[in-house]
Amino acid sequence: MTMTIYCEPGPDATFPGSAEPAYAVPEPSLLPALLADRPEAQLVVLGPGVPLAEAVAFTTRQRVERPALGVVLLREQVEVTVLAEAMRAGIREVVAAGDRAAVDAACARSLELTRRLNPAAPAAGAQVITVFAGKGGVGKSTVATNLAVTLAAGGRRRVCLVDLDLQFGDVGILLQLPPDRSLADAAAMAGRLDEDAVRSLITPYRPGLDALLAPAGPAEGDQVGRELVTELLSVLAPMYDFIVVDTPPYVSDQVLAALDRTDWFALVVTPDLPALKSARLTLTTFEMLEYPADRRLIVLNRADSEVGLTVADVEKALGQPAAVLMPSSRDVPMSVNRGVPLAADRPAHPVARAIADLAARCGARDDAPARRPMARLFGRRR
């Protein structure tokens, strides 16, 4: 069952497409209340009489509150400036109101995309672990690559490592993978990704472990939007047991998409004040979002650093014990130069053992994944 709402001011507004919408609304301001009542609504078509500013405001809000809802905007004439602003707000398509075929096609595409994105669908398959830190260089990629190797357990589990550091992602370098395929190639398939398409993007690394690499150049990363990441994760989920997401040192649109689908949140922090400050900010945000405390795992990297703060200092400042303590070791950068994560060939190494602890913490499949609209607060700042 699909459900479409048409919004157009005026007494005798008629929908210019073929399928009759379930509701006609004369005022954009009435939409939020109607939508709150109708969780099954999948598409809102805004008529040519809806002012652009209101269309943008409405869509921006829905994008955060209800990312799977599609918004299609009709205009008497489609102008480039309108198009740019609409796309930025997250409006899926802008179509000429007089072009019935185009209206029908846009609505069909949007409904199909919503079907794929639908977060109400049961969370199938993979547990998603997002490795994050609001600061660069604290060890996110080190943790993500080693964690992925550990979880794959020599092929006993299926794991996909996704590099969402789209500008400067280095998973490819850390694992010495050829840069032939990347997330940028997904852009051309947006809206119609399936398992075969996703397989064509994947770079196999070793038994049980595949990687979805960041684009080779920073500019290409721009093509990978938030909806595409959501779509990718929903296609990947049934294919794997775990998806490990490496991230840039800031909350990007793409990171928001991953956070919306995240089961385990590994927050990497080092025992120094700048890293601690950004970790605290991140945790405060999670608290406000009521992200369950037992899903946030603090990875204290370089925990033994002699010039740094003590473990107790860090735990006190964060108000939460560290889930994992990872020591500093020259073997980490040396493993990077060899292109083989420590967890792959030295599982008894203290760093690899810390990662194994982290994997164990994420391994439980007992209770339902706790998915929260993590995007809400970050989204508001944007």
Ligand X SMILES: Nc1ncnc2c1ncn2[C@@H]1O[C@H](COP(=O)(O)OP(=O)(O)OP(=O)(O)O)[C@@H](O)[C@H]1O
Residues that bind Mg ion (CB under 5 A): 140-141
* 133 vs 236 by CB, closer to ligand X: 133
HSE-up (13 A, CA, CB side) for residue 82? 19
Minimum distance of ligand X from residue 29's CB (angstroms): 43
Q: Which of 328, 356, 362, 379 binds ligand X (CB under 6 A)?
A: 328
Minimum distance of ligand X from residue 129's CB (angstroms): 15
- Distances in Å between the Cα of 123 and the Cα atoms of 135, 241, 321 are 30, 12, 29
Minimum distance of Mg ion from residue 163's CB (angstroms): 8
Please give the backbone phi and psi of residue 36, each rounded to the nearest 5 degrees, phi first: -60, -35
User: How big, in percent rounded to 5, are the helix, strand and coil portions of the chain?
Assistant: 45, 15, 40
Minimum distance of Mg ion from residue 172's CB (angstroms): 11
Please say whether the beta carbons of 97 and 74 come within 8 A.
yes
**302 binding partner (options ligand X, Mg ion, none; Cβ < 5 to 8 Å by kind):** ligand X
* 91 vs 326 by CB, closer to ligand X: 326
65: CB partners within 8 A, 6+ apart: 373, 376
Please say whether the beta carbons of 72 and 265 come within 8 A.
no
Structure-block tokens of residue 341: 């994560």
* 90 vs 221 by CB, closer to ligand X: 221
Q: Which stretch binds ligand X (CB under 6 A): 9-17, 283-291, 306-314, 332-340?
A: 332-340
Interface with ligand X, residue 349, by CB under 6 A: no
Structure-block tokens of residue 368: 């339902």
Q: Please state the length of the chain.
A: 382
Residues 283-312 that bind ligand X (CB under 6 A): 301-302
Interface with ligand X, residue 171, by CB under 6 A: no
* 128 vs 355 by CB, closer to ligand X: 355
Interface with ligand X, residue 351, by CB under 6 A: yes
Interface with ligand X, residue 137, by CB under 6 A: yes
- Distances in Å between the Cα of 323 and the Cα atoms of 52, 141, 326 are 48, 18, 10
Interface with ligand X, residue 141, by CB under 6 A: yes
- Distances in Å between the Cα of 248 and the Cα atoms of 149, 209, 236 are 20, 21, 21
Minimum distance of Mg ion from residue 144's CB (angstroms): 8
Q: Which of 110, 142, 182, 234 binds ligand X (CB under 6 A)?
A: 142
Instruction: Give contact residues for ligand X (rule: CB under 6 A).
Output: 133, 136-142, 165, 249, 301-302, 326, 328-329, 332-333, 336, 351
